[in-house]
Structure 1
Amino acid sequence: MSQIRRLLTDQDFNEALERQFRIRVFRDDHIVDTAGFIVRFDDHTVVIQSSVSDIAYHSRESCEFFELRKR
């Protein structure tokens, strides 16, 4: 079973980036991205990579980000 934690602060995003936690992204209560890793982030955008050719850019304002950890 996985443990889920919401990412809110730069420190949360930085920890997920450094430890390569899997990320799940929601927008308007719908999953828009799942099982990717944070490649980089800034104040406005989070870049998630799910595979070699699958890179997605998500707005920090309009999306909710959750890290998935295995227990």
Structure 2
Amino acid sequence: MARNRRLITDQDFQEAIEKETPVRVFQDDAIVDSGGIVTRFDDDVVVTQSGVSDVSYHRRDSCEFFEMPSR
């Protein structure tokens, strides 16, 4: 069974960066980003990148972040 792990702590985000795990981002119960990897984060913002020029900035306090299951 696939397991979706929620990313909450700085350690969670650091592990996602190190493993280059794709993430899914929800805001207001809707998917706003899917398949990008976390490239940077701080206390306010998480940066994901899906391609060379596809960079997204998500407010950490208004979004939920989940690792996507590996296939």
How many residue pairs match? The answer is 71
Tell me the amino acid that sits aligned with residue 58 of structure 1.
H
Tell me the amino acid that sits aligned with residue 7 of structure 2.
L
Q: CA deviation at 1:68?
A: 1.4
3-state SS, counterpart of residue 61 of structure 2: coil
Counting strand residues as a fraction of each chain, which structure ranks higher? 1
Mapping 1:41-60, distance limit 5 Å: 41-60=41-60
- The alignment yields a C-alpha RMSD, in angstroms, of 1.3
Aligned to 2:69: 69
| TM-score between the two structures when normalised by the length of structure 1 | 0.93
CA distance in structure 2 between the partners assigned to 1:64 and 1:38 by the alignment: 13
Runs of at least 4 residues off by over 2 Å: none
Aligned to 1:36: 36
3-state SS, counterpart of residue 58 of structure 1: strand
